[in-house]
Chains A and B, each alone.
Chain A
Amino acid sequence: MSFARLGLWLLRRERASGEWRVLLLALIIGVGSVSTTGFLGDRLKRAMSEQGASFLGADLLVTSPRPIEDWPVLAVTKSARTASPLARSQALEFPSMLAKGDAFQLATLRAVDASYPLRGSVRIADRPFAAGTARPAQPPPGMIYVAPDLLPLLSAKVGDRVQIGEARFTIAGIVAEEPGQLGGVFGLAPRVFMRADEVAKTRVLQPGSRVTYLYQFAGDPAQLAAFGAALKPRLDSTQRLIGSREGIETLRGAFANADRYIQLTALISLLLSVAAIAIAAHRHALRHYDQAALLRCFGATTAQLRTLYAVQLLTLGLLGSLIGVAIGALMQQALTLLVLPDAVTRLPSLGLAPVGAAVFSGLLALAGASLPALMRLIRVPPLRVLRRDLPPLPVAAWLSAAISGSALLLLIAWYAGNARLIGVFVGALAGLIAVLALLARLALVAGRGVQKMSHGPVRFGLAQLLRHRFDSTLQLGAFTLALFLVALLALVRSDLIAGWRQQLPPDAPNYFLINIAPAQQQSVAAFLSQHHLKASALYPMVRGRLTTRNGAPIASTLPPDARDANSLRRELNLTWTATLPANNAVLAGHWHGDRRVGEISVESGMAERLHLALGDQLGFQVGDQTLAARITSIRSVKWDSMQPNFFVIFAPGQLDALPASSIASLYVPPDAAGVLPGFIKTFPGITVLALDRLIANLEAVFDQIIGAIQLLLGFLLAAGMAVVIATLLASLDARQQEAVLLRTLGAQRAYLAKSLWSEFLALGLLAGLLASACAEIAMALIAQRLFELPLRLHPWLWLALPVTGALLVGMSGWLTTRHITRVPPMQSIRALG
């Protein structure tokens, strides 16, 4: 028999052994965790790649806040003569209200021509969540296609008639699929397709309305390149030209970053599993020194032993990894259903690439955790058969550390991708381990006091905990980490939104009115006062992009890491007023008041991010005009006040001549909500944004994301339990000897059981208390630093976590050790040799 086969044979015979089971379990948990996120990320990435040009709906897309009339005319080149001309399509996108009876909902309308989309396809179904058939996105006259999530919001079905502005349309179908869409879940305003030639009759668009013009092109690549090159210099900073590859790359880049962080979260479970694997492998090696010595005695060489144990390890590694991958495949499906319920059927099927990646991670983690122990095993001297106290030849500590360290570092590097993230991750991990180890030690020191006060089996159980200090610290640390992260997420979920809601005064505005045309201002005010509704001041709003600071392009004045600021990437809502809005306070400089000069006031956060100072001259691109103004004040803004808030406020005079619509916020008491359908009918062009619904939508998205991460943290809890079981198994022989001694001295089984339970319950309780403390501190920091919410304590946490900890640790501990209370002392003595 070859040693490889012998290895498998022995493995099969020992498959019931505790160490192999724990090792396998830990590996399954770790690989399950990384493969869950691996599968999901891979499906999403492939969905993006496979969609290619169809992602944009075109080969080239130009977006602009106003119509572009003047397109470059390409010189007739050789290739242009042979190739057909570029295909073109034009669309408008704008927000508007849809109303049916008393129900109304904000939607994003895309008004398209007959050739949309140029690439990819739109699928229209006759009922929600059906696959549908590929059709032009342009509905027949008088009809619209709507996103499936719009129907319940309007209590509508296919065939119903809805109001958009001043026109009525029939819902002719459901948009089951459109270019550039992976899932409609994150859309806060559901999509509606209508005909471009029917926009005018709705009368929704007024001067100053928010609208985006989309120009799409497709055709010969050389022609497209020449067209793009000719077009680029003509575009101003409010207009964008996106090639299909660029569009995908931008999205993929943003996605890859998010994916990386989620993968690293999953990696924590694998790393915790590594601790359990290392402990199990160490115990396995200890228990197999005799076997290895015997095999050497029977004539096995070092190489043969290496083969034997390597085959065993590889088999377990592959088995554990593959089961982990299978669990990962199931879990990712659950995760997909949670995060992208309506996209599940549209995502590509499971890929094979993550299987390789997960198996490789599993084997790497296993190698890093168990090779040092197995290296000692094959170095057992054969003489041990005669002298059982003879230890294996030591493996140099640096070698073990180098093997484990490089395997783990390789694993982290692989998931983190870049040096900075590796550094941050390793640093954070090391810091967390140090803090947890310190806390665990302190808790154990405190436990000594409790132990002194207790007596009988409880005292003995606590003594065990304090005696196996290293084990206890490890168990406590691992379990605290798992409970802490789970609790923190639960707090984030419940606290941030609830805390923020509680903070709002009861009559805080709950609706925003957007797109109020100048001519409507009087009648809107009259309507509101007639119905006794209180609105904020009306703020005129124009959209513009910040382009220069003191004459230089703004990006060039910033350090590289600040150039990505959100306020540079998008158009800002600019307003002008002589009165400092409520909830704003001037922090530096002087409020411009009604001086009609080129002065602006900038929000303090934006000033900080963009390194702006009083006296700076900022340049803006508004429509086709450029404006310049000097910063004369810096303001703080209470963003959660539910009032219209602005980053930049101009002094009156400079923007007045530009087409602007106004915005106001409004409090509608619950008993007056019936007024709104009337308002929408009276002012069909005005967008009414229900904050309650917006917040509910945000909460739903938030819940989905947190639910998904909590699913991943389930792996972390399981890995924490594996660590507890592995450390207990490692101390099982010593415990059994003690139990035998105690029983021989007359201790009853109940005494042993009580002492074990008190040990594990104490461990779980302590872990729960430490995790509660960590979660409270972390939550306080998050709430105060990031969200400026008042400090809140969570008494229920201090009950829930210790109880959960005690239950989980108690159960895993008892299941691992219970048989030592049952075995008769004589049998134990014999088993221990």
Chain B
Amino acid sequence: MTLPDSAQFPDTVVLARDLSQRVPTAGGMLDILSEVGLAVKAGETLAITGASGSGKSTLLGLLAGLDHPSAGEITLLGQRLDALDEDARARLRAGRIGFVFQSFQLLPALTALENVLLPLELAGRPDARERAAHWLDRVGLATRATHTPRQLSGGEQQRIAIARAFATDPEIVFADEPTGNLDADTGARIIELLFELNASAHTTLILVTHDDALAARCQRRLHLVAGRAREEAVA
């Protein structure tokens, strides 16, 4: 799958061309992704789906600039990632990209409020503390501000992670199996919250999931089969 130049997609925030990822294994080189192409416009929601081992998380990592592809190009927020080194990619992410992870990834020593505060402080926001409190309130956990992750349930922890992802007003939020560690009810509430916040913040949301209900909420769906992408219409 190939895509035209980014110039033809003026409001594109993520553009990938011919992405391939090969890794060495004991049995020789393994193709995790092959020639994947993708363009995501600002404000779009995209679900990356596929079976376990189909390369979903690898693609997410590449699009977010957390790893380099073996071949192909990625343009993130107007910048060609292959022209940037690790540190330059980190600077590009700072404050402009949010993340939600399957395992929440909250820092255990920090309170709920401080976990939300962390990316705001890193981005040097002057009103960091107020914003963090505001976002904690938005996810309904204002009363748990001083609790540490250990004192919170999985659903609560993921809500804090969502608040943390949106707190910096990012242009894109990447979410990796955001409901993967949660039961169905809690997962449904998390999905609700994620989309509600995304809609109100006009953020681009790219999420990896094998949950059809979650994928169905997205405007677009990219299905991966053995590392090859097929864009599917959303029902």
Q: Tell whether, in the assembled complex, residue B124 and residue A1 are in contact, meaning their CB atoms are under 8 Å apart.
A: yes
Cβ contact within 8 Å between B66 and A298: no
Answer whether residue A381 sits at the interface, using C-beta atoms and an 8 A cutoff: yes
Q: Which of the candidate stretches B34-42, B107-115, B198-206 sits at the interface with the other chain?
A: B107-115
A residues in contact with B123, CB < 8 Å: 298-299
The answer to whether A386 and B93 have CB atoms under 8 Å apart is no
Among A103-111, A300-308, A314-322, A470-478, the one that faces the other chain is: A300-308
Inter-chain CA distance A6–B119, complex, in Å, is: 11
Contacting residues, chain B, for A291 (C-beta < 8 A): 107
Query: Which residues of B94-130 are within 8 A (CB) of A?
Result: 94-95, 97, 99, 101, 103, 105, 107, 109-110, 114, 118-119, 121-124, 128
Write out the residue numbers on chain A whose beta carbons fall within 8 Å of the beta carbon of B64.
297
Q: Does B5 contact A (CB under 8 A)?
A: no
Cross-chain contact A13 with B110 (CB below 8 angstroms): yes
Is A453's beta carbon under 8 Å from chain B?
Answer: no
Asked if B189 CB lies within 8 Å of chain A CBs, one says no
* CB–CB B66/A388 < 8 A: no
Query: Of residues 32 to 70 in B, which have CB atoms within 8 Å of A's CB atoms?
Result: 57, 60-61, 64, 66-67
Residues of A within 8 A of B90 (CB): 296, 299-301, 382
Residue on A nearest B101 in the bound complex, by CB: A385
Minimum C-beta distance from A745 to chain B (A): 25
Taking a contact as CB atoms closer than 8 A, the residue among A13, A383, A831 that contacts B150 in the complex is: A831
Please give, as numbers and ranges, the residues of chain A lying within 8 Å of B124 by CB-CB distance: 1
A299 with B91, Cβ < 8 A, contacts A6-B121, A385-B101 known: yes
- Closest A residue to B119 by CB, please name it: A298
Contacts of B101 in A (CB 8 A): 385-386
Asked if residues B103 and A833 are in contact (CB atoms below 8 Å), the reply is yes
Given the complex, which residues of A lie within 8 Å of B121, measured CB to CB?
1, 6, 9
* Residue from B67, B86, B90 having most chain A Cβ neighbours under 10 A: B90
Q: Is A640 an interface residue (CB 8 A)?
A: no
Contact A386 B87 (CB under 8 A): no
CB distance from B224 to the nearest CB of A (A): 15
**Chain A, range 1-49, C-beta contacts under 8 Å to B:** 1, 6, 9-10, 13-14, 17
B109 touches A290 (CB 8 A): no
Task: Confirm or deny: A343 has a beta carbon within 8 angstroms of a beta carbon on chain B.
Answer: no
Tell yes or no: A387 within 8 A of B by CB. Answer: yes
Is the Cβ of B118 less than 8 Å from the Cβ of A298?
A: yes
B99 contact set on A, CB distance < 8 A: 297-298, 385
Q: Is A742 an interface residue (CB 8 A)?
A: no
Any chain A CB within 8 A of the CB of B73? Answer: no
Main secondary structure of the interface of A (DSSP, over half): helix
Specify which chain B residues have a CB less than 8 angstroms from the CB of A386 in the assembled complex. 57, 60-61, 66, 101, 176
Which residues in B have their C-beta under 8 angstroms from that of A298?
93-94, 99, 118-119, 122-123
Q: Which residues of A contact B60 (CB under 8 A)?
A: 386
Residue of B whose beta carbon sits closest to that of A384: B66
Contact for A385 among B86, B105, B119, B128, CB less than 8 A: B105
With A13-B114, A17-B109, A386-B176 given, is the CB distance from A299 to B66 under 8 Å? Answer: no
How far apart are the CA atoms of A17 and B110 in the complex, in Å?
A: 12
Interface members, chain A 509-525 (any B CB < 8 Å): none
Question: CB of A403 within 8 A of chain B?
Answer: no
A792-833 residues at the B interface, CB under 8 angstroms: 830-831, 833
* Number of residue pairs A-B, CB distance < 8 angstroms: 78
Q: Hey, which chain B residues are within 8 Å of A831, CB to CB?
A: 150
Chain A: minimal CB distance from B48 (Å): 12
* A294 interfacial contact with B, CB 8 Å: yes
Contact call B122/A1, Cβ cutoff below 8 A: yes
A827 to B, closest residue via Cβ: B150
Number of chain B residues close to chain A: CB under 8 A: 32
- Contact yes or no, B94 A303, CB < 8 A: no
Determine the distance from Cα of A280 to Cα of B86 in the docked complex, in whole angstroms. 29
Q: Is A13 a contact of B109 with CB atoms below 8 Å?
A: yes
C-alpha spacing A830/B121, complex, angstroms: 28
A231 within 8 A of B: no
Instruction: Give bound CA distance, A301 to B89, whole Å.
Output: 9
A578 at the interface (CB under 8 A from B): no
CB-defined contacts of B67 to chain A, threshold 8 Å: 381-383
Q: Is the CB of A299 within 8 A of B114?
A: no
Q: Does A295 have its Cβ within 8 Å of any Cβ on chain B?
A: yes
Are B122 and A300 in contact, with the CB atoms below 8 A?
A: yes
A388–B118 CA distance with the chains assembled, in angstroms: 21
Contacts of A301 in B (CB 8 A): 86-87, 90-91
Give A316-354 as 1s and 0s: 1 = Cβ < 8 Å from B's Cβ atoms: 000000000000000000000000000000000000000
Residue of B nearest to A10 (CB): B109
Give the interface centre of A290, A298, A381 by most chain B CB atoms within 10 Å: A298
Inter-chain CA distance A301–B66, complex, in Å, is 12
Question: Can you list, as one digit per residue, whether each of A374-391 has a CB less than 8 Å from chain B (1) or not (0)?
Answer: 000000011101111000
A142 to chain B, nearest CB (A): 79
B54 to chain A, nearest CB (A): 14
Residue of A nearest to B107 (CB): A291
| Cβ contacts A387-406/B at 8 Å (1 or 0 each) | 11000000000000000000
- Closest CB-CB distance, A747 to chain B, in whole Å? 24
- Tell me the smallest distance from the CB of A158 to a CB of chain B, in Å: 66
The residues of A that contact B150 with a CB separation of less than 8 Å are: 830-831
Q: Would you give the shortest CB distance from B91 to chain A, in whole angstroms?
A: 6
Bound-state Cα–Cα, A302 to B123, Å:
15
Q: Which of A387-446 contact B (CB under 8 A)?
A: 387-388
Complex Cα gap A291–B93 (Å): 16
Chain B residues whose C-beta falls within 8 Å of the C-beta of A10 in the assembled complex: 107, 109-110
A303 nearest CB neighbor, chain B only: B87
Output the least CB separation between B95 and chain A (Å).
Answer: 7
Complex interface: chain A residues within 8 A of B114 (CB): 13
B89, closest chain A residue (CB): A382
How close is B177's CB to chain A, nearest CB, in angstroms?
9
CA distance A151 to B97 in the complex (A): 84
Q: How far is B165's CA from A385's CA once the two chains are assembled, in angstroms?
A: 14
CB distance from A616 to the nearest CB of B (A): 78
Write out the residue numbers on chain A whose beta carbons fall within 8 Å of the beta carbon of B94: 298-300
Residues of A contacting B91 in the complex (Cβ-Cβ under 8 angstroms) = 299, 301
Give the interface centre of A291, A303, A382, A830 by most chain B CB atoms within 10 Å.
A382
Bound: A298/B125 CA distance, A: 13
CB distance from B103 to the nearest CB of A (A): 6
A386 CA to B119 CA, complexed, in Å: 18
**Contacts of B105 on A, CB cut-off 8 Å?**
290, 294, 385
Hey, which chain A residues are within 8 Å of B110, CB to CB?
10, 13
Q: Which residues of B contact A17 (CB under 8 A)?
A: 109
Given contacts A386-B60, A386-B61, A387-B57, contact A299 B122 (CB under 8 A): yes
In the complex, what's the smallest C-beta–C-beta distance from B12 to chain A, in angstroms?
21
B66 and A385 contacting across the interface, CB-CB below 8 Å: yes
In the complex, A77→B70 CA distance in Å? 93
Q: Which of A183-201 contact B (CB under 8 A)?
A: none
CA distance A25 to B114 in the complex (A): 28
A6 with B66, Cβ < 8 A, contacts A290-B105, A299-B95, A833-B103 known: no
The one of B86, B109, B118, B119 in contact with A302, judged by C-beta atoms closer than 8 angstroms, is B86
A571 to nearest B CB, angstroms?
72
For A382, the closest partner residue in chain B by CB is B66
| Contact of B128 with A1 in the complex, beta carbons under 8 Å | yes
With A386-B57, A386-B101 as given contacts, are A295 and B109 in contact (CB-CB < 8 Å)? no
Which of B61, B91, B123, B128 has the most CB atoms of chain A within a 10 A radius of its CB? B61
Please list 7 pairs of residues, one from A and one from B, whose beta carbons are closer than 8 Å in the complex, sorted by A's number: A1-B124, A290-B105, A299-B97, A382-B86, A383-B66, A386-B60, A831-B150
Closest 8 CB pairs of A and B: A299-B94, A301-B87, A1-B121, A13-B109, A299-B93, A383-B66, A14-B109, A382-B66
16 more contacts with CB within 8 A, not counting A14-B109, A17-B109, A301-B87, are A10-B109, A13-B109, A295-B122, A298-B118, A298-B123, A299-B91, A300-B122, A301-B90, A382-B66, A385-B99, A386-B57, A386-B61, A386-B101, A386-B176, A387-B61, A831-B150
Q: Which residues of A contact B (CB under 8 A)?
A: 1, 6, 9-10, 13-14, 17, 290-291, 294-303, 381-383, 385-388, 830-831, 833
